[in-house]
Structure 1
Amino acid sequence: MDFDQAYTMTIGGKAIAGTETFDVLNPATEQVVASAPDATREDLDAAVAAARDAFPGWSATPIDERRALIDRLGDALLADIEGFKRLLTAEQGKSHDDAAYEVGGAGMWLKGAATLQLPVTVNEDSAERYSETRHVPLGVVGAIAPWNYPLVLAMFKVGPALLAGNTMVLKPSPFTPLSTLKFGELAATILPPGVLNVVSGGDRLGPWLTEHPGIDKVSFTGSTETGRRVMRSASATLKRVTLELGGNDPAIVLADVDVEQVAEKLFWAAFTNNGQVCIATKRMYVHEDVYEPLKEALVAYARTVKVGDGSEQGNRLGPINNRPQYERVLDLVRDARENGYDFLIGGEDSDVPGYFVPVTIIDNPPEDSRIVQEEQFGPVLPLIRFSDIDDVVARANASDYGLGASVWGKDENAAWAIAERIASGTVWVNEAQHLTPLAAFGGMKQSGIGVENGVEGLLEYTTAQTITRRR
């Protein structure tokens, strides 16, 4: 895939260059990768009109035909992992291996979503009447995807929304639009015109989309702060919303863990994608009996992980994706340093180009510290000592967030019992960050509204319709 080629939006099945552009930077070099179209209101209006025009035909298409096309789209992504991974690394920063994993995951997510079934409930089947409740599409979905996993998180929305019979206008993050624009071109060769439209743009485009009267539902993945704005904007026309928002995910490491066995897993629970994961471990509570050996094992493993340009072989972690997030992470590190917290590794400023933050682990900061209370979304992890189970569960739950959590211990039943007490939409036992298109994923409290994936996520793109026949 040639980075220098023109990048176009997909509207009504056609490639649209637009009249305005913006630059996309490589976060490892801070150099321009390419320019992307900066959609105008007229471009968005055209995309929404195309989606509305396509909706009657697409929703009337038998679901098995829609299923087959979505499956083909997944296969098409899987067939071009090599090209997409290089582009994804260039705009997002993650390593080629991680980018390939994301592209493959995006393809498999579409194929997985295509296997879901819309339920039909028979309410009554008597001599007097027959009644059933089915689930019908909403119309045009406005989907807003984030920059940390731009392709796979877009597929969380594309697969179920289209399978349910909706059409879509998809907006990628302005930090990572290129791979999604190329995906739009690919989709135009498989799907009927107007079923999936892809538009790119800066900060002005999101509010235009969420307030647009031609959009029937908004599905947004991003920060809680932005999610509140999306909800306010959508309220004007009572749009349905699905909001997958921030998290401050706790991990609870019990006294009976095998330190050597879990140290590497715990590291990647926190630092996968450079910590830029909504369900990454953001605060790690470690029982005092294993605190010292585990912190040593984590630091020892961290020293083996190379940080650098994701396009260079051997680098496991890349840069923070964009300057605003880079500055936020640095501010949290500076706060920890100014408060005199102990750094087990990292904490120093980078002296190379790019948005690089070294892997940083902080030793037992106070519970009320910013690094414990706030979502860092970067490669900085606080380790926190605990001794009492009831106390650590209370501390894990004392957050406005409730997206993900994990519990680690040899006694799986004991760990499971603790997991049931955690106020999070997903809780893992002896693993982390495992998601599937077949299981519901969503947040409690201010981590979101609604769910994605699984039958429950599919139903988010429908409304219930009950039909009754008097006999």
Structure 2
Amino acid sequence: MHQSNTSATSESELHITNPSDGTSVGSAAITSEREIRACVQRAREAWPAWRATPPAQRGQALRAAARALAEHEAEVADLHHRETGRDLEGALGGVRAAVDTLLQYSELAPVHRGRSLLGPGTALDVMRPEPRGVAAIVTPWNDPVAVSAGLIGAALAMGNTVVHKPSERCPHLGALLGAVLGEHLPAGVLATVTGGAREGEMLVGSMEIDLVAHVGSTHAGERIARSVALTGAHLVRENGGNDALIVDAGVPVPWAAEQAAIGAFTNGGQICTSVERIFVHRDVAEAFVEALAAEAERWNAEGRVVPLVDERMRESVHDQVRAAADRGARALVGGVVPEGPGSAYPATVLVDVTPEMTVMREETFGPVAPVMVVADFAEGLERASADEYGLSASVLTPRLDHAHEAIDRLAVGTVKINHVFGGAPGGAAQPRGRSGAGFGYGPELLDEMSTVKVAHLEAIPGAE
């Protein structure tokens, strides 16, 4: 996910404007270093009692928090819409996904199992999962409620206490989420701090933090990894991706173009697994490009492309498009900053792109679909694999052997065949390369939020 930045900042406040129309959402006070330390200390003091709380009771508390979030869904979704530009339907879907995730972890954690080991019959040997301690959770702005609820829910359910720093692009939303959930948790178990990179580094760099979970840009994640290397905290991070889409010969072209548009333009391209690069087989290239351009025109005409989160984000996206044009790429659709307030950017289709262009090498995080024609599926697979990131990739192909080859060879955490956003509930992937490490969601996230102790128990020989 792309590096965060706010509409405007001062030394003591974050000033947020609505990406749709440029109106003010409000100002949020930045948490001081002293208060960050105090939040961590309160979480440390609350941990022994929360750890000792029976898992079923922790689950009950999470379920109460989930019900409260459901009751406030309209308020939370509206703030999400105003602060990040996400359309109301998508924002509401994110809140409901957050409720479901909290409920999921409230049920899964109490039945999270250790293992028994085969020792002598006179002894008992077990592997027991235990909470890690105080968790620092740093979350993004593009799906803030669902992502935050997942990480917070898994951490709390396993008996950790949490200090949460939401993105500086949605501080009001983060504070509201913390207030709604916190009403149903003991004091000190969940705290929310507000700020940017400086405050995030204060939090994750604390020697009192045992676990750090981060979803956000690769740049921020790598800074966090360096800090955590000095503290010894366990780190889970899902960071930026440069996700490829391979379009094979023999696919139905209108459907393939629709899939590409969904992958590249949904939420303004501001999804961690958005389609960032497209490699299309030459046999279908001409028809595919024409159909994708028509899809982009339709998305723009129907107002389906939400604004980018702020003007700085728009500038970053347009810089990549402009740099590609300077090196010979052509924008068939879009590629122009619209007039008026807010930070809108149109669905854009680029052709004549080359691998060395920034738009093909780095995450754009905007509604941009750069298309490169390849000679065959093998070349598409090779070019898709030539990347430093490893979050996910998609393949549209009618051939089962090509699907298997892609699954085997693509060095990413998730490979999606014939659906750009497909996947069953409960899946958990591990990013590769610069995209991060560790399970960031699914039941396996409970393993990240806990550590394992091996215990051996036997009686003293001859003792009664």
Once the two structures are superposed, residues 29-59 of structure 1 have per-residue CA deviations (whole angstroms, 9 ceiling, x without a partner) of 3332112121001211221122112211111
Q: Distance in 1 between matches of 2:445 and 2:422?
A: 16
- The answer on 1:119 being equivalent to 2:107 is no
Shift of 1:115: 3.1
Query: Aligned match of 1:403 in 386, 391, 395?
Result: 391
Q: Which amino acid aligns with 1:33?
A: V
Q: Distance in 2 between matches of 1:21 and 1:384?
A: 44
Q: What corresponds to 2:176 in structure 1?
A: 182
- The answer on 1:383 being equivalent to 2:375 is no
- The answer on 1:27 being equivalent to 2:15 is no
Q: Secondary structure at the match of 2:42?
A: helix
Q: Which amino acid aligns with 2:326?
A: E
> Where do 1:36-435 residues align within 5 Å?
36-116=28-108, 117-306=111-300, 315-412=303-400, 414-434=402-422
Shift of 1:318: 1.9
Q: Distance in 1 between matches of 2:120 and 2:421?
A: 47
Deviates more, 1:271-280 or 1:26-35: 26-35
Once the two structures are superposed, residues 200-245 of structure 1 have per-residue CA deviations (whole angstroms, 9 ceiling, x without a partner) of 1233211110111221111111111111111111222211111111
- Cα contact 2:47–2:133 (8 A) shared by 1: yes
Let me know the Cα RMSD of the aligned residues. 1.9
Once the two structures are superposed, residues 58-116 of structure 1 have per-residue CA deviations (whole angstroms, 9 ceiling, x without a partner) of 11111122122223322322232221111111100111111111111111121223332
Q: What corresponds to 2:462 in structure 1?
A: none
Shift of 1:167: 0.6
Q: Which amino acid aligns with 2:193?
A: V
Q: Distance in 2 between matches of 1:458 and 1:24?
A: 34
Q: Distance in 2 between matches of 1:112 and 1:265?
A: 30
Q: Secondary structure at the match of 2:405?
A: helix
Stretches of structure 2 that go unaligned for 5 or more consecutive residues are: 1-10, 460-464
Q: Which amino acid aligns with 2:13?
A: T
- Percent identity, aligned pairs only? 33
Q: Which amino acid aligns with 1:156?
A: G
Once the two structures are superposed, residues 96-141 of structure 1 have per-residue CA deviations (whole angstroms, 9 ceiling, x without a partner) of 1111111111111212233324221111243242211011001000
Deviates more, 1:276-285 or 1:111-120: 111-120
Q: Secondary structure at the match of 1:440?
A: coil
| Change over 3 Å in CA distance of 1:362–1:323 after alignment to 2 | same
Q: Distance in 2 between matches of 1:462 and 1:83?
A: 33
Q: Secondary structure at the match of 1:451?
A: coil
Q: What corresponds to 1:7 in structure 2?
A: none
Stretches of structure 1 that go unaligned for 5 or more consecutive residues are: 1-18, 308-313
Q: Secondary structure at the match of 1:305?
A: helix
Deviates more, 1:58-67 or 1:241-250: 58-67
Q: Distance in 2 between matches of 1:101 and 1:411?
A: 34
TM-score, structure 1 length as denominator?
0.90
| Change over 3 Å in CA distance of 1:159–1:413 after alignment to 2 | farther
Shift of 1:413: 5.4
- Cα contact 1:452–1:458 (8 A) shared by 2: no
Q: Distance in 2 between matches of 1:97 and 1:298?
A: 24
